[in-house]
């Protein structure tokens, strides 16, 4: 029998979320007795290190977007004030003064800066998120290989945030047939987040192999196809694997150490 549990990652609810981007330090109940406290703390530390690109990106984006929006708003205000002043002067001078259109230049620059800032921050966030995901996946694979019967996986999740762009209708039902109490929503706001799923198998059973599973959501979707990756555990010689096992001895229980040692010796 294989049991599973999830390990939460905090600080993923956008720039307004002031909590740190870290993995939960509470060991799931299904792992008790299968992984010692030292190994668990080491796993959490490695995960927090893998999440550093996202944590840094979040801080930079908060400052960057604040500055960008502040400058953009200032340029828009300057544009409107300049346009109004030039338009008034043009009327009183019967068109002999500078054209009011000049006042729209700061307004245009402000809007352009706002767009570029939003697009740039989105691309930067996506880049750092991908970098962190790859590092987290590597930590999961390495930790799973050290602990027999335990398998860690990175999962995607879509969190429902609310509706926007809606309107009221008469019958209280939208086009999909769901009762919305007279409110029809044109768009559903969701947020993509990650969590860690851990599988723990009983003695003699194998935990699920590393792989990718698409986002989970309460919104009905087509069945998700899991793509399983085969780990190449025989790439190193038995001598190299034995040396690595000795270095990791303090992170494993005695049963895990002996099982891993026997596995390596069987390949000699």
Q: Retrieve residue 263's tokens.
A: 């596995």
Whether the per-residue pLDDT at 19 is higher than 60: the answer is yes
Query: What's the start-to-end Cα distance of the chain, in Å?
Result: 31
User: What is the spatial distance between Cα 136 and Cα 157, in angstroms, rounded to a whole number?
Assistant: 16
Whether the per-residue pLDDT at 236 is higher than 80: the answer is no
User: What is the spatial distance between Cα 155 and Cα 13, in angstroms, rounded to a whole number?
Assistant: 16
Report the relative pairing of strands 211-212 and 187-201 from DSSP bridges.
unpaired
For the chain, the average pLDDT equals 76
The model's pTM: 0.56
At 204, is the pLDDT very low, low, confident or very high (cuts 50, 70, 90)? low
- Pairwise pLDDT comparison (210 vs 248), residue with the higher score: 248
pLDDT mean over 222-230: 37
Q: What is the pLDDT, as a whole number, of residue 224?
A: 36
Q: What is the pLDDT, as a whole number, of residue 157?
A: 83
H runs (alpha helix) in the chain? 37-50, 52-92, 104-146, 238-247, 254-265
Tens-digit pLDDT profile for residues 133-183 = 899 999 999 999 988 889 999 998 877 766 665 554 444 444 444 444 444
Burial of 265 (C-beta count, 10 Å sphere; 0-12/13-18/19+): exposed
- Output the CA torsion 127→132→138→143 (10° steps): -170
Strand extents, DSSP E, 133-217: 150-164, 167-168, 183-184, 187-201, 211-212
Q: From the CB of residue 51, how many other CB atoms can be counted at a distance below 10 Å?
A: 24
Most confident of 3-12, 89-98, 186-195, 225-234: 3-12
User: How far from 159 is each of 9, 15, 223, 233, 250, CA to CA, in Å?
Assistant: 13, 16, 18, 36, 39
Beta carbons of 158 and 191 less than 8 angstroms apart: yes
Q: What is the pLDDT, as a whole number, of residue 174?
A: 46
Percent of the chain with pLDDT over 70: 73
pLDDT mean over 109-135: 86
Q: What is the pLDDT, as a whole number, of residue 42?
A: 93
φ, ψ for residue 215 (rounded to 5)?
-60, 140
Q: What is the pLDDT, as a whole number, of residue 107?
A: 83
Helix (H, G, I), strand (E, B) or coil at 192: strand
pLDDT mean over 201-207: 62
Beta carbons of 1 and 202 less than 8 angstroms apart: yes
User: How far from 77 is each of 69, 86, 115, CA to CA, in Å?
Assistant: 12, 14, 17
Tens-digit pLDDT profile for residues 30-68 = 888 888 999 999 999 999 999 988 888 888 887 888 888
């Amino acid at each position: 029998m294989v049991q599973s549990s999830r390990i939460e990652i905090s600080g993923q609810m956008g720039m307004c979320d002031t909590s740190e981007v870290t993995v939960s330090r509470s060991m799931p109940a299904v792992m008790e007795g299968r992984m010692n406290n030292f190994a668990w703390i080491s796993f959490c530390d490695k995960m927090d290190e893998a999440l550093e690109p996202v944590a840094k990106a979040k801080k930079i984006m908060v400052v960057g977007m604040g500055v960008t929006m502040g400058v953009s708003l200032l340029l828009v205000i300057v544009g409107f004030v300049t346009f109004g002043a030039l338009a008034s002067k043009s009327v009183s001078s019967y068109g002999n003064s500078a054209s009011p259109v000049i006042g729209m230049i700061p307004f245009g620059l402000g809007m352009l800066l706002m767009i570029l800032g939003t697009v740039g921050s989105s691309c930067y966030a996506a880049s750092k998120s991908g970098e962190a995901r790859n590092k987290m996946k590597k930590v999961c694979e390495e930790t799973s290989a050290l602990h027999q019967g335990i398998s860690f996986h990175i999962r995607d999740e879509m969190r429902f945030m609310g509706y926007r762009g809606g309107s009221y209708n008469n019958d209280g039902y939208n086009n999909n047939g769901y009762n919305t109490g007279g409110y029809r929503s044109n768009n559903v706001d969701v947020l993509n987040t990650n969590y860690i799923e851990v599988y723990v198998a009983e003695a003699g059973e194998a935990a699920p192999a590393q792989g990718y599973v698409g986002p989970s959501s309460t919104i009905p979707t087509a069945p998700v196809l899991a793509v399983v990756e085969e780990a190449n555990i025989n790439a190193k010689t038995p001598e190299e694997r034995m040396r690595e096992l000795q270095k990791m001895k303090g992170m494993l229980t005695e049963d895990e150490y002996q099982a891993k040692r026997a596995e390596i010796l069987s390949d000699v």
